[in-house]
Amino acid sequence: MTAAVLGLAAIFVTGCGSPAAAGGGPDASTLVIARDTVPLTNASLLADDGTQKGPGDRIAGNGVPDGWLVRMNAGAVRFAPAATPDGQGVRLSYDKGAKGSLVGSAVPVKPGETYELRVKLDAGGVEHPGSIGLAFKGAGGLLDTETHRLRTETPGWSEIAVRGTAPEGAQQLIVRAVFTGAKAAGSVVMGPVVLERSTATSRSKTFPLQRILLVTIETFRWDHASLYGYGRDTTPTLERLAREGAAFDQHYVQAPYTRPSLSSMVTSRYPVSLGITDNVPPLPDSAYTAAEIFADRGYVTSGFLAQFILGQHYGFTQGFHYFFNHKNDTVTETVTRDLYPWLERHRADNTFTWMHLFDPHGPYRPTSDYAGRYRDDALYRSDTETLTTGTGKATGPFIPGYVADPGALERRHYVSNYDAEIRYVDDQLAKLVAWLEQTDQAKHTLLVVTADHGESMTDHGRYFAHGSLYEHDLHVPMLIWAPGRIAPGTRVAARSSHLDIVPTLLDYAGADQPPGLKGHSLRGLIDGATQAPEPFTIAVTGAGAREQVAVMSDSDLKLIVDHQGQPVEVYARAKDPDETRNLVSSRGDEARKLATAYRGWLADQLADDARTTTEDRDLSDDEIEALRALGYIE
């Protein structure tokens, strides 16, 4: 059975995000999405002549559906017809401990094309760990995968949607369902598999800002940027962007971990409202993301994200017309290999693009041409601290196992490699800026460069890790470059935060601000205002009784408060920038008065921002290993 070809259908989109997003921007009606259905062999999995077999296949019952391959490493799976809301479907029954995969026939693709897989399924309330998704292959093998982890413990029908864009070099797409480590025998009913190809264009000439580029860099603490006075030449490109645009001196993230920090950034909402304060909960479907906001205002949206926890089944594809999710440790040059041709293909469009770069996240292993760049300079020679190796994630004094290099026990080895990776990313940003200039796109572009959080290099007893509420984890670089739109050499001393990024981009794009955004446009500060838009800037980590919040204000005191809003740590930032002296006793009265003002302000902030409930997630074995490789769990 083959899905019918529906042909090319032009769809004019004016509201592809949240229902609350109805509204527009510069010219939302100019966004056109064209979709066509791609034929899949035996999309219903019902046709089976009983002859298709392969080495290693162990199938009971009906055999292998025509056009599909089933490989079982353990147990067995059986296929039988079953009714679905969309007509005849198939029931897949599996044994306890079954492990295997169901793979469809290859579909030819072209780089830059976006595909969406949709299928309805019902597991009858039986736990069914596994995933379904798309695999893109080129001449050299597998290039990229986009997967959605199945969450089928709840009875009833659900529709799974997986979206992915063919990377450069892609020639084939394969639909693949994986069954891994089922804890009990059970079954799942699936409707016919639907695969669509889509393209998006936005060709209006009336947009005030044609190209928006948001670049976030992993694990980049502000005081390791030469832009902010660091003793190594780590960021000459950021220095150039600061000379030609605006640099922010007190920019803070809302959480010291990737997912809550970037969830807060793309929604302009607090992590506690989203229900995300660590790297486990997914971004909820109800969240209204930057990609959805800009799509609703007529922009073609694209994501190039090098982090598995920013992938498909963590909710970060919402609103993207084109989405590339690279695995961890993907170097920036591989990410931009897809970015440049995509931008060229869409140079006539109005585009919003988010690119997240993995360097310089640990383990700190710069490319060969950058390794050793800062070895034997003055900072290297002055650092004589020797450590021991360990297996913990943060506390020391030792080198966590996921960071450790064989035989390297000197702190300076890791710090110099970390700095070399920062310089590598900075040089790649130089290539991006040069490309924009050479292709005559710079004058139509607004570029933001910032980070998801910082990193401790042994500060506060935290060894090559993040997750604390100290400056080295919360204070990050922030640059805005927009030739002809920002006065060159603008330096912003007032506080700003990731909540402010989306409102700022919308302001420069001439687009309306949707309700519910908690940040403010930074355009006023760029144009000369000296006061932060809110009396407090906050960041959070932990949950429940373990929740703590860093509170920054125009006072010289920085507070770290407990889940009841009471100060537990107090630092005088100007006199003690390294936060080594806790003044909770000597300046306790002043700190408690400041905390009372903070609690009143926070209550007003959250009064109209109902907290989103996010379900606890059971992590798969692969997710656990990936989180362990990042040092997030032990």
Q: How far is CA 281 from CA 161, 221, 250, 528, in A?
A: 19, 25, 28, 39
Contact 301, 294 (CB under 8 A): yes
CA angle 474, 236, 507 (to 5 degrees): 60
pLDDT digits (tens, 9 = 90+) for 161-186: 899 999 999 999 999 988 766 677 77
E-strand stretches of 387-502? 388-389, 398-399, 445-451, 456-457, 463-465, 478-481, 490-497
Percent of the chain residues past pLDDT 90, beyond the cut: 64
pLDDT value, residue 129 = 62
pLDDT value, residue 178 = 83
CA dist., res. 449 & res. 333, Å (int): 17
pLDDT digits (tens, 9 = 90+) for 502-536: 999 999 999 999 999 999 999 999 999 999 999 99
| Domain residue limits, the chain | 40-199, 216-629
* Residue 57 pLDDT > 50: no
CA dist., res. 571 & res. 577, Å (int): 8
pLDDT value, residue 1 = 29
Residues 6+ apart with CB under 8 A from 445: 210, 211, 212, 213, 436, 481, 482, 483
Confidence of residue 20 (pLDDT cuts 50, 70, 90): very low
Q: How many residues would you count in the chain?
A: 634
pLDDT digits (tens, 9 = 90+) for 176-216: 988 766 677 778 888 899 999 999 999 988 899 999 999 99
> Of the candidates 6, 428, 457, which has an alpha carbon nearest to the alpha carbon of residue 224?
457
pLDDT digits (tens, 9 = 90+) for 292-312: 999 999 999 999 999 877 877
Confidence of residue 98 (pLDDT cuts 50, 70, 90): confident
pLDDT digits (tens, 9 = 90+) for 388-433: 887 655 566 788 888 999 999 999 999 999 999 999 999 999 999 9
CA dist., res. 561 & res. 555, Å (int): 15
CATH class of the 216-629 domain in this structure: alpha beta
Q: What is the mean pLDDT of residues 12-17?
A: 38
CA dist., res. 146 & res. 195, Å (int): 14
User: What does the mean pLDDT of the chain come to?
Assistant: 87
* Residue 539 pLDDT > 60: yes
pLDDT value, residue 489 = 98
Q: Give alpha helix (H) positions in 297-331.
A: none
Query: Which CATH number applies to 40-199?
Result: 2.60.120.260
pLDDT digits (tens, 9 = 90+) for 359-374: 999 999 999 999 999 9
pLDDT value, residue 158 = 83
CA dist., res. 166 & res. 143, Å (int): 9
CA angle 526, 531, 537 (to 5 degrees): 100
